[in-house]
Chains A and B, each alone.
Chain A
Amino acid sequence: MASANSIVNDKEAFQCILEISNLLNTGLDEKTLSCCVRLCEEGVTPEALALVVKELRRQVSSTQSNSSINNNSTLS
């Protein structure tokens, strides 16, 4: 009973956090956010985590743009 209760509790809490995340325009989807929450709970410093997310996004986007540039150059 207690575990069921805590699950409901957790679900609600996550919804709240998701809402706050959206309000702050963080651009995190539900899945990514849940990962981040877990990492935070495991003791990762929040600032470092934010930095990680930022860096990862940058890298992903740079590879994407690189590939698009490559695509463009091959086209031309």
Chain B
Amino acid sequence: MAPTRGGGNSNDPLEVLCTCIASGNQNVDLKKLSKHALQILMSSDTLSTSNSLSELDEHTLIDNIKCQIRLVNSDKHATIFENVYRKLKLLDINSSSKLDILKFLLKLSEFSARRSHNSNVNVFHTNRLNMTRPFFLLISQWMVEGTLRDPHGEFFVCEDSHLNSSYVWEGKYRLSYVLNLFLTIVSSQKNSTSIPNSKDGGRKNWKISSSISKISSSSPVRVNSQFLDSSISRVSVSEREIIQDLIFCLQGIEGKFIKADGKHGFKLDPKVQVERRSIVLCVMELGLLYNTVASYTTLSKHKGFVRQGLVCALREELSNYYHNLCLIQSQASSGNTSSANVIDSPMSEEHLSSTLGGCSFSLLRLMTWTRTQMSRFQCLSDVLGASDGLTGGELISSVARYIHVGSPELLPCVTGLLSSMTRPFFLLISQWMVEGTLRDPHGEFFVCEDSHLNSSYVWEGKYRLSESKIPSFMSKLTAEQILRAGICINFLNHICDEKTPLAGTRKVLRDMETNGDLLSMVRPCNQLSALIESAYSENSKMVLSVLVKKFGLYQHLQGLRRYMLLGQGDFIHCLMKLLIAELNKPASHLHSAYLHEVLDAAIRGTNAQFDDKEVLARLTIKTLVVSSKDLGWDIFVLDYDLNGPLEQILRVKDSPYSTTFKFLWSMKRLDHILSMIWEKQVFATKHLRKLPGNETLAVLLILVLFLASPVRHFKFHLASITSCILELRSLQEAFIQSCEKELKRRTDLELKIEEYGTCEEEQKKHEKCMAKFRTKLIPDMKAQYTSITKSYHSTLKKFLLDLSTHPNVALKLLSNRLDFNEHYQRSHAELSECVKFRRTSDYNASPSASLDRGL
């Protein structure tokens, strides 16, 4: 780009510049001015290589310009600048010269902004002079007496009251931010002070202060007015200072320029102008992350062992971080000492930054270190965010999700966390599996205890799995194995009073307690799961052997089968025979003493007497609560009185055993009745054959026989069928009775005729009776019989239909077995349809159904 306008009659652009600036002022010696300008150029050319602005990249430069525009103008102007700059960028210009021009403009703007403040302030300096007097008093007291009388914290030397007096040289007295503003102004005015570092300690403070006092005494008004006004203007901060501040920030401490924002984060003072602002902001993010993590570890409300494990891991991570930070700080301060040698000598800001440029530690280096640490802390704070409010197993699950992180650098970080967190969890598991005790005051473990149930409910519901608390990497099977293994040990220790020796897998688990964790479980096939499985099977075997050897489990199971499930046929038959008369009485007339006697008699009278004494001793009779109209049958139950551990497992008293017994007993009764019917029928048929010339009767008898035989095969628990049979029995009894009455009448009559002969009247009466028997009684009986048969068949049909359509495969099979020769299918069309359908559907049935059947 060529300059569009030449300047005056001279070709030297510097002279043109001088004339331009001096335009309108005739008093100025142009020659002298241009010579002076040349001098400045020559002298600053040597400095310019180390100048801060020259290193700026385009982006930062634009940023700085925007800041400057905001400062001197407004936000709106900054956006205007953006537009203009975009336009400028599109034009075809040499980009380096463009940047140079922009830098020039920025620098000039900064200079002129300060100057304008100064010129404004000078007008009012006399008023402000009075305000600065106490400040000088503070300075002089500090320098002369070495005491700090600054109750309101106005002085720039500030005391850290937490440190005792032995720290005089290190950190007890520090320079505050106020001074820095002050000094920046001073140095920008080319005064011979340099900005000290807060680490430099009291001695240097003094030196700086002395130099200040020189300035102050020479031109007190000017310096003070500058000081008071410095808050308006921008402060440029050297790299060394900002590094120091950043190091503070990384420890969560506020620095001179970087202030806390109250939400764990930090903000850069808007007045501070710094090179590579974006890098500084980037490093400040680590400060935020550090604060997030550190504040988490200091919270005292952490409940639960797992959470404490997490905090412990975080602390470890933090101490590692502190270690690194310490190294960084020592490197940074070693850079400082090299520059501290020259700090006393009058130097400009440019000189200082040039020495720093050669120093070993730079902002870029800090950022490189921050990068790796940042990703770790980012990961940690992500983990903490995700696990907020969770405890125990859920907490572990939430952290375990991060184990799939792809970065090889973050993986050890997450595994470290997980290992530390699962350690107490492993201890819980191990204690549960080894001792059978739950020591889980915070409810973190996935095995939870129902404290409402007493210890006799160990097997049912006292201990349960809480599925949400199972760590996500643990399979449900393993969790169940852990639950059962613990229950086994708990049962042995507390119910069986069995002292279990610590051996085998449990010993291995106990040995692992000191430093075991669940980390290995993350892989699907791992040693720990196998260990748990073997501990589970060992514990189960132990329980079984104790039950079998000490408590005679098999023997009692046999007893239950024989007596409660009516396995001992002769005993049951005998008991039924002995009790049938007694049980037909109303329930209230039953005497338990008599029932017990009968039981003893039944035992004595059958093979049961050779059974185990232990088993027989437990056999007793229980009567249920009587309600009105109950018969003895309704309340009689045989009972097997188990106690101790076996009762807790088998639960004879309220398990299906007594219900099953009641059902089987009523079936046995039906069976008994039917056999009685059969007996009577056979007897009656023979007996009544003498009744002459009565075909209908014969037919009826045969029918009854037919009915009786199939009924005998079915002992369904269906009240209607039971009532059918009972009705049939009463009908049969009534019929046989009347038949026998008729037979008796006839035989009597025959005897009478043989003895005395007969008369017409007698004959007529006999005829009448016979007719009555034939026409009234027999059809009547026949009708009753038909109705019973009908209701029996309809009930049977309904029952079979229900069975065959029942979703349970076992019941379908039962219906199949009942109708094994398809007798009922032939008689009931509907049933056969249904069966057909069922069979085809069975062939297409799902594998699970066939599996069920297989089982």
- A residues adjacent to B (C-beta < 8 A): 6, 9-14, 16-17, 19-21, 23-32, 34-42, 44-60, 63-64, 67
**B492: interface (CB < 8 Å):** no
In the complex, residue of chain B having the shortest beta-carbon distance to the beta carbon of A44: B41
- State the 5 A-B residue pairs at the shortest beta-carbon distance, nearest first: A50-B107, A46-B104, A24-B109, A38-B3, A48-B44
Contact A60 B22 (CB under 8 A): yes
**B342: interface (CB < 8 Å):** no
**B837: interface (CB < 8 Å):** no
A interface footprint on B93-134 (CB within 8 Å = 1, 0 otherwise): 110011011111111110111010000000000000000000
Given A9-B93, A25-B109, A40-B100, do A56 and B33 touch, yes or no (CB 8 Å)? yes
Q: How far is the CB of B32 from chain A (nearest CB, A)?
A: 9
- Provide the residues of chain A in CB contact with B94, threshold 8 Å: 41
- Provide the residues of chain B in CB contact with A17, threshold 8 Å: 88, 101, 105
Contact A47 B53 (CB under 8 A): yes
Interface centre among A39, A42, A49 (most CB of B within 10 A): A49
What are 8 A-B pairs at a CB distance below 8 A? Answer: A20-B84, A27-B112, A28-B108, A31-B5, A38-B13, A53-B17, A55-B36, A56-B17
Please pick, from A14, A30, A48, the residue contacting B40 in the complex, using a CB distance under 8 A: A48
Rounded to whole angstroms, the CA-CA distance of A11 and B37 in the bound complex is: 28
Interface residue ranges of B9-32 to A (CB < 8 Å): 13-14, 16-18, 20-22, 25, 27-28
In the complex, residue of chain B having the shortest beta-carbon distance to the beta carbon of A30: B5
Rounded to whole angstroms, the CA-CA distance of A27 and B108 in the bound complex is: 9
Please pick, from B44, B72, B93, the residue contacting A24 in the complex, using a CB distance under 8 A: B72
Q: How far is the CB of A63 from chain B (nearest CB, A)?
A: 5
Contact A47 B103 (CB under 8 A): yes
Interface centre among B40, B41, B104 (most CB of A within 10 A): B104
Contact B41 A52 (CB under 8 A): yes
- Provide the residues of chain B in CB contact with A44, threshold 8 Å: 41
- Provide the residues of chain A in CB contact with B278, threshold 8 Å: none
Contact B108 A56 (CB under 8 A): no
Contact B103 A46 (CB under 8 A): yes
**B45: interface (CB < 8 Å):** yes
Q: How far is the CB of A47 from chain B (nearest CB, A)?
A: 5
Rounded to whole angstroms, the CA-CA distance of A13 and B72 in the bound complex is: 23
- Provide the residues of chain B in CB contact with A32, threshold 8 Å: 17, 20-21
Contact A37 B41 (CB under 8 A): no
**B1: interface (CB < 8 Å):** yes
Please pick, from B1, B17, B73, B80, the residue contacting A14 in the complex, using a CB distance under 8 A: B1
Contact B13 A47 (CB under 8 A): no
In the complex, residue of chain A having the shortest beta-carbon distance to the beta carbon of B89: A16
Contact B17 A35 (CB under 8 A): yes
Please pick, from A9, A26, A35, A63, the residue contacting B27 in the complex, using a CB distance under 8 A: A63
Q: How far is the CB of B66 from chain A (nearest CB, A)?
A: 10
Interface centre among A6, A17, A31, A44 (most CB of B within 10 A): A31
- Provide the residues of chain A in CB contact with B16, threshold 8 Å: 35
- B residues adjacent to A (C-beta < 8 A): 1-5, 7, 13-14, 16-18, 20-22, 25, 27-28, 33, 36-37, 40-41, 44-45, 48, 51, 53-54, 65, 68-69, 72-73, 77, 80-81, 84-85, 87-88, 91-94, 97-98, 100-109, 111-113, 115
Interface centre among B3, B33, B100 (most CB of A within 10 A): B3
Given A9-B91, A24-B65, do A40 and B84 touch, yes or no (CB 8 Å)? no
Contact A67 B36 (CB under 8 A): no
In the complex, residue of chain A having the shortest beta-carbon distance to the beta carbon of B86: A16
In the complex, residue of chain B having the shortest beta-carbon distance to the beta carbon of A58: B115
Q: How far is the CB of B119 from chain A (nearest CB, A)?
A: 9
Contact B27 A16 (CB under 8 A): no
- Provide the residues of chain A in CB contact with B113, threshold 8 Å: 25
Contact A21 B18 (CB under 8 A): no
Q: How far is the CB of A44 from chain B (nearest CB, A)?
A: 7
Rounded to whole angstroms, the CA-CA distance of A54 and B3 in the bound complex is: 21
Contact A56 B22 (CB under 8 A): yes
Given A26-B112, A59-B33, do A35 and B1 touch, yes or no (CB 8 Å)? no
Known pairs A17-B88, A31-B7, A45-B51 / 12 extra A-B pairs, C-beta < 8 Å: A20-B102, A24-B106, A25-B72, A25-B109, A32-B17, A32-B20, A40-B101, A41-B1, A42-B13, A45-B44, A47-B51, A47-B54
- Provide the residues of chain B in CB contact with A23, threshold 8 Å: 69, 73, 77, 80-81, 84
Given A17-B88, A60-B21, do A10 and B37 touch, yes or no (CB 8 Å)? no
Please pick, from B21, B33, B65, B108, the residue contacting A50 in the complex, using a CB distance under 8 A: B108
